[in-house]
Amino acid sequence: MTDAEDRKPQSDEARSAFQPPVGVAATAEPESSTTSEFAVPRGLAVPKTGTESETTSEFAVPDGLDVAPAHPADSEGSAFNPPRTYSAQQPPAFTPPTGIPLVSLTRDVPWQDRMRTMLRMPVTERPAPEPVQRHDESGPAVPRVLDLTLRIGELLLAGGEGAEDVEAAMFAVCRSYGLDRCEPNVTFTLLAISYQPSLVDDPVTASRTVRRRSPDYTRLAAVYQLVDDLSDSETHVSLEEAYRRLAEIRRNRHPYSGWVLTAASGLLAGAASVLVGGGFLVFVSAAIGAMLGDRLAWLCAGRGLPEFYQFTAAAMPPAAIGVALTLAHADVKASAVITGGLFALLPGRALVAGVQDGLTGFYITASARLLEVLYFFVGIVTGVLTVLYFGVQLGAKLNPDAALGGDPQPLLQIAASLALSLAFAVLLQQERSTVLMVTLNGGVAWVVFGAMHYTGGISPVASTAVAAGVVGLFGQLLARYRFASALPYTTAAIGPLLPGSATYFGLLGIAQNEIESGLTFLTKAVALATAIAIGVNLGSEISRIFLRIGSPEKRRAAKRTRGF
């Protein structure tokens, strides 16, 4: 008995059916006597033709087809081995045996795009980090890195940055110090970040609360520059150096003093009154009213009153000056004076940020921002309605169409739009190097709006949306050129498009007991504000789509459900 028979005894089923039974002598043949129905019968000689193809059967293997070599005849099979004809294909839902393909992100794009791309990826598909700030094998302490990340995110969120951009910045800081398994989470007032060293280690979680917001775009630009330096492999910034620079950013004074901001409020209101048909006297009256309102709001803030009452107090002086001019029978468009004062108070920055968060999937943060805008708007409504009610009781005849009766003056209105954007940029504490660009962007926005609405006769909502889209597109391109945030190039530029006149006419209709007319104008104001926010966000997204950030499939967004 051979070794093969010792290892694996053959059964009756293992024998061939063509073998003779036991006791029957088999004819001696040099080779196997087993015949096949496809074999050539004995005695039939097939001549060789000498051509290339001798086989004509449909069961023959065609030329050029590679066939896997057959297993040796004496190899023994196992019940656990797959058959030779079985070819297993890995389902796409599982990790292939060769591993997940490496995702490479180009380094010649802004860090915002790279971090946003990885945040939109599943955790298992994110590329491994390239720690550029680690100077030794152990690296910095994880709690200190998380604390630095939260402090940077706090300054960005308090400065008005969107939730997605704040998460991208926090993710960039963590990956700069080699923490790849980080998950930042940003809401309206809370920032949290969690880091898990491995699948078997306990996660480390830290959080920070944003108590106060202050629009300071100079500080915002400095924070962006710090994050850019941390993300750059050629710039080595240690953890201690990052803390030192962050402390300097916090201690920096605003570039413009309080009286400069008050003068900017007056310039903004005066330029807005000219946009809606006012003259020189209207310009002066609106500027005085806005400056009085700004000083009154500063007084309320010094006494610790909430922002709701600050907006209510700031809305009263422009409305009071407009009513006083009407009672004095002055040849002035009082509605233009009040409209100009409202332009300085409308929370366009918070509105754009709220709609942007909603469009990018941060619904809780978007709801909170829009609720904040609603409270500010209610505060403005309360202040203006209080003054208008007493004015109507005193006999003031306010004409709702007074501000819309003049013919458009393109050159004067373009100059007013430039002045309005300039004043808005100063109010936002922007860097002096960005003021000129955002001023020109605001002028372009008004030219687009005027060409579509006044010349083309297109509806104001559609014209506003297109003009805001141009603002977002140019702002995003300028931000990418400077590797900075897009807010300093877009927020002030949307100032000429804010719905100040529609807001005033809606409030005037309610004050004169014309509820239907008032609600119509207020609905128009809401539509214009939404068009501005969506236009700015859409312009920014269009610029990201057409600019190269690697391959198109790398920039992913959440897939929404359809019907279920």
pLDDT in tens, 86-128: 454 444 444 445 544 444 444 455 656 666 666 655 555 566 5
Residue 539 has pLDDT above 60, yes or no: yes
Judgement on whether residues 166 and 294 belong to the same structural domain of the protein:
no
In a domain, 75, yes or no: no
CB 547 within 8 A of CB 366: no
Judgement on whether residues 239 and 264 belong to the same structural domain of the protein:
no
In a domain, 100, yes or no: no
Q: How confident is the model at residue 365 (pLDDT cuts 50, 70, 90)?
A: confident
In a domain, 324, yes or no: yes
Q: Cα-flanking dihedrals φ and ψ of residue 207, to 5°? A: -145, 165
What would the two tokens of residue 436 be? Answer: 């000129």
CB 117 within 8 A of CB 549: yes
- Number of domain units in the chain: 2
Judgement on whether residues 216 and 337 belong to the same structural domain of the protein:
no
Judgement on whether residues 393 and 449 belong to the same structural domain of the protein:
yes
Judgement on whether residues 228 and 314 belong to the same structural domain of the protein:
no
In a domain, 559, yes or no: no
In a domain, 65, yes or no: no
Judgement on whether residues 364 and 478 belong to the same structural domain of the protein:
yes
Judgement on whether residues 345 and 469 belong to the same structural domain of the protein:
yes
In a domain, 29, yes or no: no
Judgement on whether residues 292 and 326 belong to the same structural domain of the protein:
yes
The CA-CA-CA angle for residues 291, 296, 301, to 5°, reads 125
- Least confident stretch, 116-120, 173-177, 329-333: 116-120
As a dihedral over the C-alpha atoms of residue 463, residue 469, residue 474, residue 478, rounded to 10 degrees, the angle is 140
- Residue 12: the pLDDT is 47
Which of 216, 251, 286 is the C-terminal boundary of a domain? 251
In a domain, 55, yes or no: no
Under DSSP, the state recorded for 549 is -
Under DSSP, the state recorded for 403 is G
Which of 251, 277, 304 is the C-terminal boundary of a domain? 251
CB 379 within 8 A of CB 311: yes
Across residues 234-241, what is the average pLDDT? 84
- Residue 193: the pLDDT is 93
- Residue 110: the pLDDT is 62
Judgement on whether residues 308 and 242 belong to the same structural domain of the protein:
no
Q: How far is CA 267 from CA 216, 318, 426, 454, in A?
A: 19, 13, 10, 25
Global confidence as pTM: 0.69
39: left (phi over 0), alpha (psi -120 to 50) or beta: beta
Judgement on whether residues 365 and 328 belong to the same structural domain of the protein:
yes
Residue 433 has pLDDT above 90, yes or no: no
Residue 383 has pLDDT above 70, yes or no: yes
Distance (Å, rounded) from C-alpha 134 to C-alpha 141?
11
Q: How confident is the model at residue 439 (pLDDT cuts 50, 70, 90)?
A: very high
Which of 202, 223, 251 is the C-terminal boundary of a domain? 251
- Residue 90: the pLDDT is 46
Distance (Å, rounded) from C-alpha 49 to C-alpha 506?
101
Q: Tell me the residue range of the domain where 521 lies.
A: 258-553
Judgement on whether residues 380 and 502 belong to the same structural domain of the protein:
yes
What would the two tokens of residue 452 be? Answer: 């579509």
Own/partner pairs, 308-314, CB within 8 angstroms, 24+ separation: 308/375, 308/376, 308/378, 308/379, 309/379, 310/379, 311/345, 311/376, 311/379, 311/380, 311/383, 312/379, 312/380, 312/382, 312/383, 313/383, 314/344, 314/345, 314/383
- Least confident stretch, 37-51, 134-148, 419-433, 482-496: 37-51
* DSSP assignments along 96-139, one per residue: -TT-PPPP---SSS-HHHHHHHHHTS-GGGSPPP--SS--SSS-
- Residue 244: the pLDDT is 92
Average pLDDT over the chain, rounded to an integer: 75
Distance (Å, rounded) from C-alpha 333 to C-alpha 325?
9
Judgement on whether residues 162 and 199 belong to the same structural domain of the protein:
yes
Q: How confident is the model at residue 22 (pLDDT cuts 50, 70, 90)?
A: low
In a domain, 464, yes or no: yes
Q: Measuring CA to CA, which residue among 258, 269, 254 is closest to residue 432?
A: 254
